[in-house]
């Protein structure tokens, strides 16, 4: 029976794992540290991992390993060059969270522009009840209709965000970090042009050598002072120290982050903003709608099943 090891089961929430269990002998570890991987996977033919780092040394120590099923779309947790050299197949889950992440992106934009968290607290902490005024103008309320929405990375998620932004009446443009030029319904700009043009800028690119610290001090200074930047892709694409500085100086108006350079985010200048209301933050939740989690299990199951059906060596 095929031995399958899930290294970070917590990342799948309360999903039903029975479809995977039907494919072999599944051992589920809620969390695995780097020094535990080899011992736990010594007899494994298949490893399932979401964020657990699978290094060259780890793969070299696991001669029975044939497949790494990444429980995510991004594969930056696996040394892909080493896997290729060692003949280990790596398969990721594609498209399972497109709608969840795109909807979250719109949610962050609306909540940030309308300062929803602030006004919610204003009512619930008693300030509204104590006020003599019917309205509160502590923060200006923005709207999406008529706004310029710039997208970094017009892949599957980026296109869905573009479609949703268009439906809200936004003007949409994008830049391609890969340098690939395609026929698209949206205007393509250089990164510098997009930074200067955008009222809302959302990031949907993978983290790689081209995108690490893509948005730093110089880039933030090119943005409008009224602009909002949203990152639901990968931490490390925005220089967090530069972002905190830009928010404190008023270089840009606000930011919404679902991903961070280190997760969990333990120490960061983002925790020490002069005005915390300029930042809307969530703990990497954009992808994890209930429907996305079910689709993720289906993707993982299919990746394992088809690997063995194809007889990949």
Cis peptide before 264 (omega within 30 of 0): yes
Asked about 217 being catalytic, the answer comes back as no
Q: Are 205 and 151 contacting, i.e. CB atoms less than 8 angstroms apart?
A: no
196 included as an active-site residue: no
Q: State the CB neighbour count (10 A cutoff) for residue 69.
A: 24
Q: Determine which one of 204, 234, 240, 295 is catalytic.
A: 234
Tokens of 48: 């399932």
CB atoms within 10 A of CB 225: 10
From residue 155, give the alpha-carbon distance in Å to each of 102, 103, 151, 180, 205.
Answer: 11, 15, 10, 11, 8
Please give the structure tokens belonging to residue 276.
Answer: 């915390």
Burial of residue 106 (CB within 10 Å: 0-12, 13-18, 19+) is buried
CA 265 to chain centre: 14
Asked if residues 256 and 112 have their Cβ atoms less than 8 Å apart, the reply is: yes
* Structure tokens, 17: 């794992």
To the query of whether residue 40 is one of the catalytic residues in this protein, the response is: no
Residue 102 near residue 81, CB atoms below 8 Å: no
Of the listed 91, 159, 284, 295, which one is catalytic?
284
Asked whether the CA dihedral 225, 243, 120, 160 is positive or negative, the reply is positive
Q: Which residues are catalytic?
A: 234, 263, 284
């Amino acid at each position: 029976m095929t031995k399958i090891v899930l290294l970070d089961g917590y990342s799948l929430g309360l999903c039903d794992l029975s479809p995977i269990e039907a494919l072999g002998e599944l051992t589920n570890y809620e969390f695995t540290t780097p020094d535990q991987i080899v011992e736990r996977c010594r007899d494994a033919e298949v490893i399932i991992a979401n964020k657990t780092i699978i290094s060259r040394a780890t793969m070299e120590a696991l001669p029975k390993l044939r497949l790494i099923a990444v429980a995510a779309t991004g594969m930056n947790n696996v040394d892909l060059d080493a896997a290729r050299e060692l003949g280990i197949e790596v398969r990721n889950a594609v498209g399972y969270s497109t709608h969840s992440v795109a909807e979250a992106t719109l949610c962050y934009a609306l909540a940030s522009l309308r300062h929803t968290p602030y006004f919610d607290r204003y009512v619930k902490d008693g300030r509204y009840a104590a006020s003599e005024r019917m309205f509160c103008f502590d923060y200006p309320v923005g709207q999406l209709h008529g706004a310029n929405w710039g997208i970094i990375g017009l892949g599957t998620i980026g296109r869905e965000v573009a479609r949703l932004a268009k439906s809200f009446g936004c003007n949409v443009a994008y830049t391609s970090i890969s340098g690939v030029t395609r026929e698209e319904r949206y205007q393509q700009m250089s990164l510098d042009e997009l930074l200067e043009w955008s009222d809302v800028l959302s990031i949907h690119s993978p983290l790689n050598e081209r995108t690490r610290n893509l948005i730093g001090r110089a880039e933030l200074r090119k943005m409008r002072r009224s602009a909002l930047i949203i990152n639901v892709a990968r931490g490390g694409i925005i220089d967090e120290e530069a972002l905190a500085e830009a928010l404190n100086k008023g270089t840009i108006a606000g930011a919404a982050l679902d991903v961070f350079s280190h997760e969990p985010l333990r120490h960061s200048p983002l925790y020490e903003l002069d005005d915390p209301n300029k930042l809307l933050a969530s703990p990497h939740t954009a992808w994890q709608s209930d429907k996305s989690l079910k689709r993720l299990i289906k993707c993982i199951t299919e990746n394992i099943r088809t690997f063995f059906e194809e007889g990949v060596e």
